[in-house]
Amino acid sequence: MQQYETYMRKCFELAQKGYGKTSPNPMVGCVIINDDGGIISEGFHSECGKAHAERDALLKVSPADCNGATLIVNLEPCSHYGKTPPCADLIIEYGIKKVVIAMRDVNPIVAGNGIAKLKKAGIEVLEGILENEAKKLNEIFITNMTEHRTFVALKTATTLDGKIAAHTGDSKWITSEKARAEVKHIRQGYDAILTSSSTVLADNPTMAHKNKIILDRTLKTDFENANIYRAGNIYVFHDEALKTNKKYPNIRFLPCPVKNKKLDIEFILKTAYDFGIMSLLAECGGVLNGSLIDYTDKVYHFIAPKILSDNRGKSAFAGKTIDFIKDTTNFRFVEIKTFEPDILLTYYRLK
């Protein structure tokens, strides 16, 4: 069992090579070993539409190389025809004698059917090896499949006393270059980034990404010159009462219902999902953070060893009035990383 855990961790490493490229598919890695534990082949799902991890690994060698071998993979092999043929069929064809799996596929099209097909062919199947780690790796895919919605993450960077900017709006730079480089890496793992008109006006960020969602209720940002609009597919949500004749090749203007003078977050998230945006990373100010927090699955919270000591400073989460601690939104800490001199605290909302 310990041996299989070691190879499963190798599968996780391989799967990560597809980080940010496989959506809406999961990240999957595969290792094929012989009876002595020697690695025969490795593979991973590099991007949506290309070979799945098992197929990638198997097609690098011949059936003769794999006869009687063990295949280890972090997700149940598929059993259906999609953009690629069924991996379960190829595993059977190659004479694999044993398949070790971290977790079953939550896609209802598969959902145990791949395992059933393997067992019917006489292949031994071992399940549940590092299952929790496998679920964390593909938390976005699992949310999409089981809850039929976009996975929402939020990134913020604060001082020790929870401020994202001075009262003047100055925020450059709270965190270090190392921390900001990690933010760029985190962005790559999400289908889109989301921000507000207030952030666009205050910081004029570029936020390099293929898909960007801007919440601009009154259409007050500079669509001609603001850095954020220069590249990428842009979705601008605005008050449905406003009409606009603005036309740009990369910007789509989307009328949105307004509640209490704020754009309807549920409408925005549903629309994003309908457009095929399976995950988004919000990078915005305290007011929008406060509006999003009850819809957020995961928070990346960078903390710099600085104290502003000014109650006029802008807080990371704002916009609510809470009278009792019992009414707070609660989270679960999962990880702390260091990016000298800052730390990254990752936590999930309790549901």
**Torsion, CA 197, CA 198, CA 204, CA 205, rounded to 10:** -80
Instruction: Specify the 3-state DSSP secondary structure of 71.
Output: strand
Task: State the CB neighbour count (10 A cutoff) for residue 182.
Answer: 19
Active site (annotated) includes residue 240: no
With b meaning 16 or more CB within 10 Å and e meaning fewer, what string describes 315-332? bbbeeeeeeeeeeeeebe
CB 32 within 8 A of CB 40: yes
Short-list 85, 176, 152, CA closest to 289: 152
Give CA angle at 86 (81, 88), nearest 5°: 150
Q: From CA 250, how far away is CA 195, in angstroms rounded?
A: 17
Give CA angle at 198 (195, 204), nearest 5°: 80
Q: From CA 279, how far away is CA 291, in angstroms rounded?
A: 18
The amino acid present at 296, given as its one-letter code, is T
Catalytic residue among 42, 54, 182, 283: 54
CB 192 within 8 A of CB 212: yes
Catalytic residues: 54
